[in-house]
Copies of this chain bind each other. A is one copy, B any other.
Amino acid sequence: MGLPMARNLLRAGYRLRVYNRTPARAEELVAEGAERVERPRDLAEPGGVVFSMLADDAALEAVTLGGDGLLAGLAPGGVHVSFSTVSPAIARRMQRLHAERGCAYVAAPVVGRPDAAAAGKLWICLAGEPAARARVLPFLQLLGQAVFPFGDEPALANVVKLAANFLVGSALEALAEALALAEKQGVERSALMEMLAQTIFACSVYQNYGRMIAERHFAPGFSQRLALKDLGLVLDAADEARVPMPLAGLVHNRLLSGVARGRGEEDWTTLARAVDEAAGLV
């Protein structure tokens, strides 16, 4: 996801330094004018703005903290915009560590698949200090079609992102069950899905994922492995706040099973295969 977002900043005329833990990944951006650095701490100019897009809490810590970390390069006044889907717990920790150095940590997790990132059509959930949010807003408006503010606590934007991913996962489970029932009762899967997608569920999640599940055409996009990480974060946040979420548990178990069975790199719509298998359909 980070690649198309960085490219959009470059194309808008911004100078960009880039770092990727796998250096080859950054080469494409270098070819388009970015400057590659060796250590995350070299990304920032003092008092500048750094963006990060990383796979999980551990990667965010690895890139941000320590002597080579990006935080070490952000002098007072700097802003770190974190696009990653990470836990509210680490967002609170990052907020504190950045504040201790006179920097701001802004959470800006994004909603949308890679093609939306490429088109600058992401939806961005934003939370953090008001001044820092105002400063980075122009960049975010380049990257997304809308920015939704959720207040001063960065962790809240991460909660919102987790809630959204949980809702998508729940829709996948619901669609998979509904389509398995329909098929075994004799209804044509795509006919059902067309009706739903044109009526009460005429929205992108149901239209896009619903079609994939109806046709059992599971194009790669977001892996079960990463989705499992996200559902794990949902359940951790639910435990922390003491909120029983049985549906989140159900979706989590589908993904956990998918990974256990060696399907971790398949798109998370393939959780529908487990529904089909349980029904003897495949």
Q: A residues touching B (Cβ–Cβ < 8 Å)? A: 88, 111, 123, 125, 146, 148, 150-151, 153, 155-156, 159-160, 162-164, 166-168, 170-171, 173-175, 177-182, 184-188, 191-192, 194-196, 198-206, 232, 234-235, 237-250, 253-254, 256-257, 259-262, 274-275, 277-280
Question: Quick check: B242 and A250 within 8 Å, CB to CB?
Answer: no
Please judge, given known A-B contacts A185-B241, A234-B181, A280-B242, whether A167 and B201 are in contact too, CB under 8 Å: yes
Question: Is chain A's binding surface mostly helix, strand, loop or mixed?
Answer: helix
Q: Are A278 and B257 in contact (CB under 8 A)?
A: yes
Can you offer 25 A-B residue contacts whose CB atoms are under 8 A?
Answer: A123-B195, A148-B195, A159-B185, A163-B178, A163-B181, A164-B178, A166-B174, A167-B174, A171-B171, A173-B247, A174-B174, A174-B247, A180-B243, A180-B245, A181-B245, A202-B203, A203-B203, A232-B239, A239-B256, A242-B257, A242-B279, A243-B256, A244-B256, A244-B279, A249-B249
Quote the shortest CB–CB distance from A178 to chain B (angstroms).
4
Are B198 and A146 within 8 A (Cβ)?
yes
Beta-carbon nearest neighbor of A253 in chain B: B244
CA–CA, A175 to B196, complex, Å? 18
Q: Say whether A279 contacts B253, CB under 8 Å.
A: no
Q: Are A200 and B205 in contact (CB under 8 A)?
A: yes
